[in-house]
Amino acid sequence: MARSQNTIKKLYFGRDDAEHDMADGLLREGFLPTTAYEAVLSGRKILVIGRKGVGKSAICMRLTMGGEHLAGTVLLTPDDAAGDEIRRFELQGLTGRTAKSLIWRYVIAVHAARHVIAHAGARHGRRLPASVRALKKFLQANGEAGDARLYDRLASGTRGLQTSLSLEAFGVKASLDMSGSSEGARAAVQLDVLEGGVARALDELDCADAHGPLLVLVDQLEQVWSNDPDSMAMVTGLLLAGKHVAGAYGKAMRCVLFLRADIYDALEFSEGDKYRGDEVRIEWTAEGLKELALTRASVSLGRRLTPAELWEQLFPRRVEGLPTAEYLFSQSLARPRDAIQFLNLCRDRAAERGHETITEGDVTGASRQFSEWKLQDLAREYLVNFPFLSRILAIFQNTGYVVMRAALESRFEAHREALHTRFPEYTDALTVDGIIDVLFGVNFLGVRRGSEVVYTGDAQMPVQPHETDFCIHPCFRPALNALGSTELHAYVPLQPNFAVADQSSAVVVQGAVIGQMGGFVQGRDFALAESLIYSCERIRRQLVRSSLPADTAYEISLQVERVYDDAERLLFQLRRGSTRDAVSHVMAAINYLNALAAQLDNGLGGNAGVVSLVRRILDETRSLGREIGGGLGSSSG
């Protein structure tokens, strides 16, 4: 593939949000049909659930583009004003959620009526059927004929359902004979009349068979979610209304709802089991994200790229030893928005530096900034449900990315009182178990199960009480400076202070005679160096038995290996007649190993393997200390 900086300038993976992505054109041509999309299109699913950024709105916006459903779509996206109107809506004689389901049904029916009138005029000739003319009269009589915001329709519906709607267009008197009935009962009867009128029009036009169903799409409920009882009733009422649509309109209309997973899972909804067959949860794999990236890169460059062209020519083959795609998608959460942002950031860094291709340095440089974005975004994403989240995330700064339950308990205890004071309404959730559940639920922490770390996107089973080993998701590690598996300080050898004596001579060091005859060395310094070597060997054997996670065991082993190698160098120098101070060297190693044990106990405490390893290290340092003390006590000139 011919490469130039112009190629990098043209390379683009799309916008962060579906609305702008549709305007830029990548959503239409670069949209990757998924199982969730096909399930909605076919009518098998009407409830699309997923985290922010997984592509719910992309599916919604793609459906509104036309060409997929000839009968058309109606898109409802409530704003703050509309949300307030629904939350406040009440009807005497009905529960909050049932009352709110009626206002949703009204809004859906009115939008469907408007669509039917426009559709009939455009697709079914000039002479409108009587049922369609009745809808037109109803809209005019109730102030719904003109273009209006969703809020205005809600306000009109609220007044009509709480008092009375004008139903003469359907042959019903303005005042229904329901004396003594509650507001709720009157509203339900009026809605039945309206919905019956819309259903007759759809049936008379035969739209279901001729064009397919009308899709009513409801998206962005998170914009009006407040995590309070009225918000829960508002969303639960929408679920009831969406379910009702299928029965009221048959095959002629479907209502598809797009809900964030944390909102849906927070609902206290006894009928939730009735919606299982309607649900589809969006989850992405690395392979799916790779295909999405390839599709969008191809659209931006105007030709179909091969995987090798994208991942081996435009991007470097490998980053930090991993294939580039594997590195990128392991460093981000498994959702399209993150992938698009990360890929565009890599491309931007390359373009700013005038590179013809994206280099490994461009990718690693982008990783830190991307991680900082995602840490901030995580706290904002869950600000309504978990306002304390940013304070909790700060606990993990400058630590290892492996987190043991006992260590988390210790860290949390230092902040517990301040958190309870700042967020008194969340005291019940601000416990160690509660925090673990939250952090696992938002995909910040994964839990080790067997030899693998499982994150929320991989399995829905919550953290179990017996599970103690957790890992910070790689996406957030650079921003937290949690780049090592454990919070270990590197071993730095004591700077040697010695001179090499004449090979044939003997020297006196701290009263001990060291001689070199045929390679034989004697003296306390030599014994101390050997003892340190043997201690390191015993610590390494205990480390093997500890069954710690491989990355954690590697980092610990690396530091012990440095102590071992330095002790061997000391021994070699002593054999060559060096006057190096072995006592100071071993004491420095003892201090480091004691600090290492303390770090392991604080950072990984609670794990049986760590407890045994810490005991072994402390046993060895005590033995070395006794040897130094005994040696010093017996020294004489």
Whole-angstrom Cα distance, residue 104 to residue 221? 13
Fold of 507-633: Substrate Binding Domain Of Dnak; Chain:A; Domain 2 (1.20.1270)
Q: Find out whether 485 and 402 touch, Cβ atoms under 8 Å.
A: yes
Residue labelled with tokens 């001179």: 499
Buried b (16+ CB within 10 A) or exposed e, 446-467: bbbeeeebbbbbeeeeebeeee
Residue 505's pLDDT is what? Answer: 36
Residue 501's pLDDT is what? Answer: 42
Residues shown for the chain: 637
pLDDT digit string, tens, across residues 285-321: 999 999 999 999 999 999 999 999 999 999 999 999 9
Helix (H) or strand (E) holding 373: helix 360-381
Both structure tokens of 387: 């306002």
Distances from the Cα of 330 to the Cα of 37, 333, 339, 455, 476, angstroms = 25, 7, 10, 12, 11
Residue 4's pLDDT is what? Answer: 55
* 310 alpha-carbon distance from chain centroid: 26
pLDDT along the chain (637 residues), means of 10: 70 84 75 90 92 91 73 86 87 92 93 89 73 92 80 82 87 62 87 94 81 90 90 94 91 93 87 87 93 94 94 95 95 93 95 93 95 95 93 91 85 92 93 94 90 74 87 95 81 63 38 40 78 94 85 87 92 82 89 89 74 92 86 39
Residue 3's pLDDT is what? Answer: 53
Each domain of the chain, given as residue ranges in start order, spans: 5-15+292-381, 37-281, 389-480, 507-633
pLDDT digit string, tens, across residues 113-170: 999 988 887 666 667 889 999 999 999 998 887 777 787 878 888 888 888 888 899 9
Whole-angstrom Cα distance, residue 101 to residue 628? 80
Residue type, 16: D
Residue type, 361: G
Backbone torsions φ then ψ of 169, nearest 5 degrees: -60, -25
Rounded to 5 degrees, what angle do the CA atoms 26, 28, 34 make? 100
Whole-angstrom Cα distance, residue 237 to residue 93? 15
